[in-house]
């Protein structure tokens, strides 16, 4: 029996039989999204035009150029052709829409979102910050614990060991989060700016 979905009806209205069949096939959209991810990571030759991270798009573009990215012609409305710095690659994550851009030292520098479904095709990128709060959960919310640390993503090291508290929100949990953020603010006041700290210079 045909699986009638809004996506299928849209494709039929547009006269797009190929995508109508994809939408009507169980798992068809998911397969299309997975295929889009495979095409993205197979060769690092295209890059999203849209920047949706912290800061503005012009600063993000300048930052990428400083890293050694070279951009060419538009591929379509979402992507532009790119030559990445030597040794850089795109790695698929466990989700078909999320991908990591890894530098020549194996560090995850950027994130690329790409939804390849024909009815809602979108792509954008974000720049990772060097210093971040890492929150680790152990157990279920009702009786589990949470530990907060500050990590230097350039070196992979923990630079501030926070405390452990119950996962359930309360004074203890709030204090754990607060201590990590206070450390960041005191030592790296521009930590929320992904362009503020070089990943190849000791701070």
Q: State the Cα angle at 41 between 37 and 44, rounded to 5°.
A: 135
pTM for the whole thing? 0.84
Query: Looking at the predicted structure, is the pLDDT value of residue 178 above 60?
Result: yes
Query: From CA 93, how far away is CA 99, in angstroms rounded?
Result: 5
- Bigger pLDDT: 36 or 82? 82
Q: How many residues does the chain have?
A: 203
pLDDT in tens, 50-67: 999 889 999 999 999 999
Confidence at residue 203, expressed as pLDDT on a 0 to 100 scale? 67
Query: Looking at the predicted structure, is the pLDDT value of residue 1 above 60?
Result: no
């Amino acid at each position: 029996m045909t699986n009638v979905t809004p996506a299928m009806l849209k494709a039929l209205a547009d006269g797009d039989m190929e995508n109508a069949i994809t939408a009507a096939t169980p798992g068809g959209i998911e397969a299309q999204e997975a295929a889009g991810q495979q095409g993205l990571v197979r060769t690092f030759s295209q890059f999203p035009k849209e920047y949706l991270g912290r800061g503005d798009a012009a600063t993000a573009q300048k930052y990428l150029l400083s890293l050694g990215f070279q951009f060419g012609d538009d591929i379509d409305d979402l992507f532009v052709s790119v030559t990445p710095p030597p040794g850089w690659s795109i790695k698929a994550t466990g989700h078909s829409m999320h991908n990591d851009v890894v530098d020549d030292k194996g560090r995850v520098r950027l994130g690329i979102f790409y939804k390849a479904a024909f009815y809602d095709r979108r792509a954008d990128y974000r720049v990772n910050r060097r210093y971040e709060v890492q929150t680790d959960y152990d157990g279920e919310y009702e009786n589990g614990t949470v530990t907060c640390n500050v990590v230097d993503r350039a070196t992979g090291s923990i630079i501030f060991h926070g405390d452990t508290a119950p996962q359930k929100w309360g004074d203890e949990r709030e204090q754990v989060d607060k201590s990590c953020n206070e450390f960041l603010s005191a030592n790296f006041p521009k930590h929320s700016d992904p362009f503020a700290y070089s990943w190849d210079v000791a701070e």
